[in-house]
């Protein structure tokens, strides 16, 4: 399962490739909260510009991920219609586009997934606002307690040295 391009055999106006690759293309570990649940759909043009390969086109895949608020799973579809990537050729050997496409798509996934931002099934997060409403002191207090304990421990050390 790969997308290997031979830079020597490219037509002047570029090579058009189109197809799908199974969800396993993304190589997400089974333990990862985010999983691909659809095939990757690609339609790309690969153009050679002396020492570079210019990749343009569109990419799409659907992912399932866990909402950081309510921890329920939801679906989010990534569609990149203006994909473009420039790959510097180190030699005339085959170039595998797999890593580039995989990373570029995974980079567009939300870092802090929220189910209300999912674009497959519109919904409101059932946990929406529950954290915002909490008094701030509840969040800060544990750190303060920790700091206090640290200072007390330091004071005790100082006292021990003095004695």
For Zn ion, the closer of residues 89 and 127 by Cβ is 127
Q: What are phi and psi of 148, to 5 degrees?
A: -60, -45
Give the total of residues touching Zn ion (CB under 5 A).
5
For Zn ion, the closer of residues 7 and 110 by Cβ is 110
**Cα 127 to Cα 106: distance, rounded to the nearest angstrom:** 26
Q: Of the candidates 3, 40, 55, 67, which one interacts with Zn ion according to CB under 5 A? A: 67
76 binds Zn ion (CB under 5 A): no
Residue range at the interface with Zn ion (CB under 5 A); choices 1-9, 27-35, 125-133, 147-155: 125-133
65 binds Zn ion (CB under 5 A): no
Q: Of the candidates 69, 95, 105, 118, which one interacts with Zn ion according to CB under 5 A? A: 69
Q: What angle do CA 67, 125, 133 make, to 5 degrees?
A: 100
For Zn ion, the closer of residues 130 and 156 by Cβ is 130
**Cα 90 to Cα 80: distance, rounded to the nearest angstrom:** 27
Q: Of the candidates 60, 70, 87, 97, which one interacts with Zn ion according to CB under 5 A? A: 70
DSSP calls for 61-105: EEEEEE-TTT--EEEEEEEEEEEEEEEE-SSSS-EE-HHHHHHHH
Q: Which residues bind Zn ion (CB under 5 A)?
A: 67, 69-70, 115, 125
């Amino acid at each position: 399962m790969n997308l290997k391009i031979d830079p020597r055999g490219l037509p002047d106006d570029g090579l058009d490739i189109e197809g799908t690759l199974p969800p396993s293309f993304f190589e997400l570990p089974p333990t990862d909260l985010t999983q691909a649940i659809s095939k990757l759909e690609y339609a790309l043009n690969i153009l050679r510009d002396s020492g570079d390969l210019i990749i343009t086109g569109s990419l799409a895949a659907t992912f399932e991920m866990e909402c950081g608020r309510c921890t329920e799973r939801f679906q989010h579809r990534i569609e990149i219609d203006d994909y473009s990537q420039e790959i510097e050729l180190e030699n005339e050997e085959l170039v595998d586009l797999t890593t580039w496409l995989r990373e570029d798509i995974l980079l567009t996934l939300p870092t802090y997934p929220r189910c209300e931002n999912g674009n497959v099934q519109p919904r409101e997060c059932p946990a929406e606002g529950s954290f915002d409403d909490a008094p701030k002191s509840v969040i800060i207090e544990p750190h303060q307690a920790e700091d206090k304990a640290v200072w007390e421990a330091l004071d005790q050390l100082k006292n021990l040295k003095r004695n």
